[in-house]
Structure 1
Amino acid sequence: MTQPFAIAVAPNGARRTKADHPRLPITAAEIARDAAEALEAGAAMIHLHVRDAGGAHTLDVDLYREAMAAVRDAVGDRLVVQVTTEAVGRYQPSEQIAVIDALRPESVSIALREILPEGEDERAPASLFERMEKAGMLHQIIIYEAAELDRLDALCTRGVLPGGPLAVLAVLGRYTEAGATEAEFEAFIAAGIARHQWMLCAFGPLETEFMERAATAGGHARVGFENNLWLPRGQLAPSNAAIVSATAGVIGDSQRGIASADDLRGLWREPSAPVPADKASASGTRPAKPDLSHGVSG
């Protein structure tokens, strides 16, 4: 059966401010407003970042609880509510793990290279994933290049990560003028990302075009002001909901339909499958460190 197309809205991110777009949500009330609008436009999930009093990215538990409560008041359970653990050069893996344990959110996004830096002790992250699995938490692993798919497989094979398919977010581009590129997308497809429950995010004004390609290839979409401020044909988006609506329009004749939050929950809770034998060995390529000067997406 063809999977419905799930759209996640990422309304703010860790770096942009109202100087980038006056409608970028910062407060809990603004995030809840955008959540409700995005739901009506077709979103199944909201990806949460929160800011401190000075507007800086934070993993503060109390601020997260305030934003999560505001979103739930606005939309109930009609959106999956996902929190980020993005480090932004500020947080260590132990702090990222601590916020997950304190919040016990419905869903969480975790960058592979942040939570499991190569060559470092894997026991604490492995224990975290075991706890999340037991709690039924919907974890999504962020990867920034195709070579990380081989590392995911190796970690699954060794039992550090749960058996696949995993929920994976592939990131195209960074906060640069070039944004997402064709070569990045093709590399993820060639590396077999379709063996996972995969979602795509793409920096820059070609976001909707890449989401159309993801939909055709069986993936899902994460869109919004965190990664892009523009609608197709170069118009500045008036809101996050407008970007979600444009994304919902790209499925065309694919017969996929738009996923609800419950659809997405079901997709991410499908039984684990063994890693294919031909994908069980790790790549020799070491992923680069995050480009903190331009930012990544978490």
Structure 2
Amino acid sequence: MAPYQVMVAPNGARRQKNDHPALPLTEAELARVAQRCQVAGATALHLHVRDDQGRHSLDAGRYRGALAAVAETAPGMAVQITTESAGIYTPDDQFACLQALCPSAASISIREMAQAPEVAARVYAHCAEAGTEVQHILYGPGCLAQLEIWYDTGVVAATMRDAIFVLGQYVPPVLARPDAVTGVAVDAAALNLSWSLCAFGRAEQACLLAAIAAGGNVRVGFENNIETPDGRVLADNAASVAALIKAASAAGHTLQRSPA
């Protein structure tokens, strides 16, 4: 089996310091977390930025600052920005962010883009032209069906096959279950996707281990979970990364690390 890769999602769009004091919100905090998580074994960072009040932001200037800070503290670490709306931004806003940044990698929700199909077509065309590696965010069967339609109609380029499956959700609270991973692997194979998994709640590690065993990559971190499998609070994102890698190693899986 091919080595697996670990991306860390250290904050997300919703959690705050009162959820966990080690949750990174500022540019400097994100840079420090990236460095620690890279040392722990994460090869990539899923980047959210916040405004001065700690709210989710798609501000291009804030992204540029955070990208530069991470590049300094964690050289060689791949960084993927999010275009998540979090109930705040429209597809037009998301497109504007991508146009302003032309990032090397971005996660884009099929469900959110489907709210404005005419914008979606421009988003995916722009990313193809800019060389942005798109990771499709898939929340369920409806997202898969829409992605298949967009492949068939050419809205999404046939080469854009990277996707992340999301198990569970914030609102209403739904905790991820490892037994759902088998179906994810089947769905990924049906569309010939290069896939990753993230999972909400304390079963995060069990879900991610199941994904690794099924041939997927994984995304771990405080965006989705702040607890150990037995319900204790994790010290920080690096501890989350390290615990997952230790468990995967014990199960016989090989981590793909960043080049030296």
TM-score scaled to structure 2, two decimals? 0.92
Aligned to 1:137: 132
Q: Deviation digits for residues 50-81 of structure 1, max 9, x if unmatched?
A: 111111111111111111111011012x2111
Give the 3-state SS of the residue equivalent to 1:225 in structure 2: coil
Amino acid of the structure 1 residue aligned with 2:177: T
Give the 3-state SS of the residue equivalent to 1:234 in structure 2: coil
TM-score scaled to structure 1, two decimals? 0.81
1:243 and 2:243 are equivalent in the alignment: no
Structure 1 unpaired stretches of 5+: 263-298
1:57–1:167 CA distance, 2 compared to 1 (3 A)? same
Moved over 6 A (4+): none
1:180 and 2:179 are equivalent in the alignment: no
The answer to whether the 8 A contact 1:11-1:224 is kept is yes
* Distance apart, 1:179 and its partner CA: 1.1
Distance in 1, Cα, partners of 2:209 & 2:221 = 15
Aligned pair count reads 258
1:221 and 2:201 are equivalent in the alignment: no
The correspondence of residues 255-266 of structure 1 with structure 2, limited to 5 A, is 256-261=253-258
1:70–1:9 CA distance, 2 compared to 1 (3 A)? same
Aligned to 2:10: 11
Aligned to 1:107: 105
* Distance apart, 1:189 and its partner CA: 3.0
Amino acid of the structure 2 residue aligned with 1:191: D
Distance in 1, Cα, partners of 2:179 & 2:214 = 15
Amino acid of the structure 1 residue aligned with 2:106: V
* Distance apart, 1:192 and its partner CA: 3.9
Larger CA deviation: 4-13 vs 172-181: 172-181
Larger CA deviation: 190-199 vs 237-246: 190-199
1:147–1:186 CA distance, 2 compared to 1 (3 A)? farther
1:51–1:247 CA distance, 2 compared to 1 (3 A)? same
Give me the identity figure in percent.
39
The answer to whether the 8 A contact 2:6-2:41 is kept is yes
Distance in 2, Cα, partners of 1:173 & 1:193 = 21
Aligned to 1:272: none
Amino acid of the structure 2 residue aligned with 1:233: D
* Distance apart, 1:261 and its partner CA: 4.5
Amino acid of the structure 1 residue aligned with 2:89: Y
Aligned to 2:96: 98
Distance in 2, Cα, partners of 1:79 & 1:107 = 12
Distance in 2, Cα, partners of 1:261 & 1:91 = 33
The correspondence of residues 161-240 of structure 1 with structure 2, limited to 5 A, is 161-164=156-159, 166-175=161-170, 178-182=174-178, 184-193=180-189, 195-240=192-237
